[in-house]
Structure 1
Amino acid sequence: MATILINGTEYTLPEGERLNAIQAAQRFGVEIPYYCWHPALSVVANCRMCEIQVGSKDPKTGEIKMIPKMVPGCQTPAKDGTVIVTESPEVKAHQSMIMEYLLINHPLDCPVCDQAGQCGLQDYSFKHGQSVHRFVEERTVNPRKDVSEQIQLNMDRCIMCTRCVRFAREITGTNELQVERRGNHAEINIFPDRPLDNPMAGNVVDLCPVGALLDKDFLHKQRYWFNDQHHSVCTRCSTGCNVTVEENRGQIWRYRARYNPKVNDYWICDEGRYSYKSANDPILLHAMYLREGDRPAMTPVDRALDAARTRLKEVARQGGRIAAVVSPSLTVEEAYLLASFIKGLSGSAVLAMGPVPVVGEDVTFSPDPRKGRTGDTSFVVPRPFTIHAEKVPNRLGVERILVHFQGEVIPFDRFRLQAASQPFDALYVTGGGHDPVFEGPEMTKLRDAAKFLVVQDVWPTDLAGTADVILSSSTFAEKAGCYVNADGRLQYASASLPPRDGSLPDLDILAILSERAGGGPISSRDVLRELSGQVPGFSAASELNGTFPEFGLPLDGQEQPSPGMSRYVDPWHAPRGKVTLAR
């Protein structure tokens, strides 16, 4: 156990935990301001904002000896006997001086800057800056430039923290960014004909503590403080990155990476970052439909649900063959309700896995822990980050449900061959992914494989156009529930948007069809609690009492500690606005 002294108060650190002064102080609610340091990047100590007074306490005599000059907190290990002073007049004067220096060339354009409201320069200028600007000489002015098709660099606002440069060197290893020239003329730039276009490039915007690097997808579209913040999970692939979803007026405006040391650390790939757009697509289904003659006709929600339930029950009563295609984009709770409903109609009903799109191969970024690091000052061991080729969020979770209900998983291609040779009397098909999968003539052949077809989806696909009943369900952003990622970790995603007009959340649709007590709406927590007592592999979820662990729940094996990664949340990655959690 290590005992440290912060501003005259003793604190005890857990055995074996390696922290620097910034992390140790933050652990006990004491803030040390900083810009250039980041818990997953090398330590360069070039902003000097975190400089503090440091000393040591003799364990025998209790005598305190202070270092005669201030030192950067990011480079100072917190070990037994360390003395840290962050509130002395000398430290405060130094912070004020550093803020004045950083603002010498910085334009006072906060009203038009997209970073306003979540800007470290704004926050620390208010807390530690001066009210009078003494610099009267001509400021250095740099033109705006594009470092990629998606990212704009405003060098006027840059404070040369070099977080973006270190990210491209140490995390992705692509090395697109560099520091040109020196002193007052130093600036960040790309190499000629080599834009910042690696698959994780958007993270430099999240990393930037000021408004220098801006995402043109979000630029001048929305004010940060107008957006509600929702904790969710990216459903673009099976990695299951944790994200903060920013929503306002029924529309998602952007995704930002949310810290999870067990899954994605501080990062998210660009494919996932911009995948939110499909939730705003104007062509999404906005009504339920019943087939009248040769074409589907818009119908009230209750009539569509009643028609589907009545016909499915009639087929089951007559001993007809029933099947369902369970989409790997459904949550665990939705897959459980669907399987329960279909098997409740007929014990011989067939449950098949929906299409699992795979694009290319897995791409893994494996940072070199030695790259750019000197000695033992990094305090962190970066972990690999994988962008999975499997473009659905919950294949493993759905497989567990299918195995529980019928003992095997029937792949979609095998099911299509089976349905072509032995048509079903009723078929229930679910979709709801980022991309419409039931498109094209091969998919519409499922229509010939069933006398009665129900399609529950968010897209007006070719198959939906042939269905007897079309149930407009919820997108990934309109529902709350759990997904099992590629590592077998159960993670909860909250809803970010209300249901579209004319649609219902999948859980509510299935609860109404199943005629469960109350008839809907239904809570994902209640369903998870129910299935955890029945489906093997989910038993650990029953101990959560309707809550969800901060970093997800491992379904197989024992929890493994993250190597060298403390539970330190970089404040620029933490949501500062109102956080809205769905039911």
Structure 2
Amino acid sequence: MVKVLVDGTPVDVPAGSSALQACEAAGKEIPRFCYHERLSVAGNCRMCLVQVVRAPKLVASCGFPVAEGMQILTDTDVVRRARRAVMEFLLINHPLDCPICDQGGECDLQDQAYGYGSGVSRYQEAKRAVTDKELGPLVKTVMTRCIQCSRCVRFSTEVAGTPELGIVSRGENAEVTTYVEKALTSELSGNLIDICPVGALTAKPTAFRARSWEYKKTDSIDVMDAVGTNIQIQARGAEVMRIVPRINDEVNEEWLSDKGRFSVDGLKKRRLDHPWVRVHGKLHKASWQDTLVSMARRFEGISGDRIGAIAGDLCDVESLCALKDLMTALGSSHTDCRQDGAWYDMRSRSGYLFNSGITGIDEADALLLIGSIPRHEAPVLNARIRKQYLHKGRGGFPVASIGALPVDLTYNVDVLGEGPEVLTRLLDGSEAFAEVLKTAKRPMIILGHGALTRPDAQAVYEATLQLAYQTGVITQDWNGLNILHTAASRVGALDIGFVPGSRGFAVTNMLRGGVEILWLLGADDFPLDKISKDTFVIYQGHHGDAAAARADIILPGAAYTEKSGTYVNTAGEVQRALRAVFPPGQAREDWQIIRAFSEVAGHPLPYDSVEALRARMAKVNPVFSNAGTEIAPAPQSVTDSSVSKGTAEFNNARIRPVIDDYYQTNSISRASLTMAECSRVYGPMRAVAAE
């Protein structure tokens, strides 16, 4: 540690820290535009000037390293005059269009001009103008406002891994551009809006819709993937207007995927806001009482082994627990959360978790991907992999992949093969990457659903587990065998036991006529044409997706923004979302619908409040006992090593990605016009890459 005096206050900071970081450690506010904690230092805005005793002139604190005994002055008269001069230069060409700027109210330039500027401009000449750039359907540009801080350039190059932005020309003629005009191709492009300190980059889908001070802000969890990104839902009245990320270094740092940010308009389209009952082949609106009574009559005389339930990918644990308890009360063990037919090792919790934790990526020094495309399955997690790749360098963080790789992952990957037979070569040592894993101190394997949804998924997993023990991926103090889920509800459903019981049917058997009554809880992502024509289908969900059209009874539920719910991410971390708005029309929270039906059906569930239901969840699985707004970490456990050591029976087919279109993966994103436009714009690019 290095001792530094900041305005007379002693502070200890790590060696190599900058003067700006030392000032912040001392509680001093230093204005800045180009500096960002998660980007490289550019030092080109000069707003962070401070005075260092015995230095010949003021220094830019963001790029000035501290030294033992250094004395820093942050608020002298010369510093104040220098900052006013810098602000005056920044505003020379900046348009004074704050009243019509979408960034108004949350603009760094606006705030710092008020706090550190002079309030008077001496510039009399005409301001310059810059042509706006077309960056695609998500990011709106007004490049005349740009102050060339280069944050967007560094983010796209360093974090997103798509170096499509840059600065051309010099001096007054400098401008940020895409060189060749085309849409940004990153799944993280919305973060450019957050890091832009002025109104040059704003959200195109929500342009001129509302002002920042009009929003009611609510903490929640993103359900567009299984990372569990911490988000803030911003609503005005009964409408969710936008979604932005919250900082959580353990999960998402401060990034959010484009689908999680911009699919917000899908929350207003195709909504189910009234119960429906099919009579003589046609759906008719009905009251809640008539609908529940009609359902109860349909259940009369049906034995429990002829009733089944399938849970979708966006469900909260509360509704899963309630439906599981209802099925048990009805005598059914036919429950399944695996719409995609995935296979998991259920012997212990570590058999289906991202065991190293998301922050474990920061410790890894070798990575093997098996049937996983992290860029589409978990863009925020993929950015962390890229960060580690850049930090270690290719030689320090080699990455290899098994399976089809139709997209650039934003870091160099050695494709070992497209089929599971590569695992055999890794096990017998004939594949060179096996030695790479053995020599690494913290090797990691990410097993994706491209492998776990195959007919030979169990054989692939057992071979992977054997490889993990053989190469040191699993040791007493490190478990680097990670399952990367794609569904926000999957781990929570597995934790609560929403899987077939003894002699219970999985999804495939339920669809083939194994049950007479099939309850779909937000389940939309499986082949609906495989449901037997004689099966009576109850659909409970929030969007009129394909499954609702097949249903005989429709129960309108609440979307994730409209209820307080518990979600468990791919690493097994339990998090809780809060309700931002109320459900539309007569829609209700899912667990309340299930509880109300249980009463009508004569099997009342033993809880009447969400607190009692969460107590029941904790009783089923202690992992839910400490759930709250803070993360409950997954326990560090090592998977049992007693696996088959024989020759695995692999399917010869290549391992394919599970996501065909990143922007159209669930009922909310399919209802979003913004996501439909992204699919139209980016779809051809993806098709070319796949070829």
Normalization by structure 2: what TM-score? 0.67
SS at structure 2 position matched to 1:274 = helix
Q: Does residue 530 of the first structure (1) align with residue 530 of the second (2)?
A: no
Counterpart amino acid of 1:362?
P
Quote the Cα distance in structure 1 between the aligned partners of 2:90 and 2:391. Answer: 24
In structure 1, the residue matched to 2:629 is 548
How many pairs are equivalent?
A: 513
Counterpart amino acid of 2:28?
V
Quote the Cα distance in structure 1 between the aligned partners of 2:34 and 2:153. Answer: 11
Which of 305, 312, 317 is the aligned partner of 1:327?
A: 312
Which of 109, 113, 116 is the aligned partner of 2:101?
A: 113
What's the CA shift for 1:199? 2.2
Quote the Cα distance in structure 1 between the aligned partners of 2:561 and 2:497. Answer: 24
Q: Does residue 428 of the first structure (1) align with residue 514 of the second (2)?
A: no
Which of 436, 441, 446 is the aligned partner of 2:529?
A: 441
Which of 330, 338, 360 is the aligned partner of 2:323?
A: 338
**1:356–1:268 Cα change, 3 Å:** farther
Quote the Cα distance in structure 2 between the aligned partners of 1:102 and 1:388. Answer: 50
**1:427–1:415 Cα change, 3 Å:** closer
Q: Does residue 252 of the first structure (1) align with residue 243 of the second (2)?
A: no
In structure 1, the residue matched to 2:335 is 351
What's the CA shift for 1:196? 2.4
**1:507–1:409 Cα change, 3 Å:** same
In structure 1, the residue matched to 2:135 is 147
Quote the Cα distance in structure 1 between the aligned partners of 2:341 and 2:58. Answer: 56
Q: Does residue 292 of the first structure (1) align with residue 373 of the second (2)?
A: no
Quote the Cα distance in structure 2 between the aligned partners of 1:195 and 1:465. Answer: 35
Counterpart amino acid of 1:70?
L
Q: Does residue 498 of the first structure (1) align with residue 572 of the second (2)?
A: no
Q: Among all aligned residue pairs of Structure 1 and Structure 2, give the percentage whose two residues are the same amino acid.
A: 28
> CA offsets per residue over residues 204-253 of structure 1, 9 Å max, x none?
12210100112221222222221222222221122222222222132222
Unpaired segments ≥5 residues, structure 2: 343-370, 376-381, 393-408, 412-445, 451-484, 638-691
SS at structure 1 position matched to 2:87 = helix
Check the 8 A contact 1:239/1:393 in 2, yes or no.
yes
Quote the Cα distance in structure 1 between the aligned partners of 2:91 and 2:391. Answer: 28
What's the CA shift for 1:369? 6.5
**1:415–1:145 Cα change, 3 Å:** same
What's the CA shift for 1:72? 2.0
- If each structure's helix is expressed as a fraction of its own residues, which one has the higher value? 2
In structure 2, the residue matched to 1:464 is 548
Check the 8 A contact 1:251/1:497 in 2, yes or no.
yes
Check the 8 A contact 2:220/2:230 in 1, yes or no.
yes
**1:132–1:398 Cα change, 3 Å:** same
Counterpart amino acid of 1:395?
R
Quote the Cα distance in structure 2 between the aligned partners of 1:70 and 1:408. Answer: 76
Check the 8 A contact 1:357/1:392 in 2, yes or no.
no
Report which stretch shifted further, 212-221 or 293-302: 293-302
Counterpart amino acid of 2:337?
M
**1:345–1:23 Cα change, 3 Å:** farther
Counterpart amino acid of 1:333?
E
In structure 2, the residue matched to 1:271 is 259
> CA offsets per residue over residues 526-563 of structure 1, 9 Å max, x none?
5334322331xx43x4245xx321xx3322328xxxxx
What's the CA shift for 1:498? 0.9
Quote the Cα distance in structure 2 between the aligned partners of 1:17 and 1:527. Answer: 50
SS at structure 2 position matched to 1:464 = helix
Which of 367, 379, 386 is the aligned partner of 1:367?
A: 386
Check the 8 A contact 2:305/2:333 in 1, yes or no.
no
Q: Which structure 2 residues correspond to residues 17-416 of structure 1 after superposition, within 5 A?
A: 19-27=17-25, 29-55=27-53, 66-77=54-65, 81-281=69-269, 283-309=270-296, 311-312=298-299, 314-315=300-301, 321-346=306-331, 348-356=332-340, 361-363=373-375, 364-365=382-383, 366-367=385-386, 391-402=486-497, 406=501, 411-416=506-511
Report which stretch shifted further, 23-32 or 271-280: 23-32
Q: Does residue 10 of the first structure (1) align with residue 10 of the second (2)?
A: yes
Check the 8 A contact 1:119/1:209 in 2, yes or no.
yes
**1:24–1:494 Cα change, 3 Å:** farther
Counterpart amino acid of 1:251?
E
**1:427–1:186 Cα change, 3 Å:** same
What's the CA shift for 1:490? 2.0
SS at structure 1 position matched to 2:562 = coil
Check the 8 A contact 2:51/2:58 in 1, yes or no.
yes
What's the CA shift for 1:168? 1.6
Check the 8 A contact 2:109/2:197 in 1, yes or no.
yes
Counterpart amino acid of 1:430?
L
Normalization by structure 1: what TM-score? 0.79
> CA offsets per residue over residues 261-295 of structure 1, 9 Å max, x none?
222222222233222222111x2111012333332
**1:517–1:197 Cα change, 3 Å:** closer
Check the 8 A contact 1:3/1:80 in 2, yes or no.
yes
Check the 8 A contact 2:310/2:519 in 1, yes or no.
yes
Quote the Cα distance in structure 2 between the aligned partners of 1:158 and 1:284. Answer: 39
Counterpart amino acid of 2:9?
T
Counterpart amino acid of 2:634?
L
**1:403–1:431 Cα change, 3 Å:** closer
> CA offsets per residue over residues 500-520 of structure 1, 9 Å max, x none?
111101122123334568975
SS at structure 2 position matched to 1:37 = coil
> CA offsets per residue over residues 348-380 of structure 1, 9 Å max, x none?
43112252499994323443669699xxxxxxx
**1:518–1:464 Cα change, 3 Å:** same
Quote the Cα distance in structure 2 between the aligned partners of 1:472 and 1:39. Answer: 44
What's the CA shift for 1:112? 0.5
What's the CA shift for 1:107? 0.9
SS at structure 1 position matched to 2:224 = coil
> CA offsets per residue over residues 305-328 of structure 1, 9 Å max, x none?
34435654x447x66632211223
In structure 2, the residue matched to 1:486 is 570
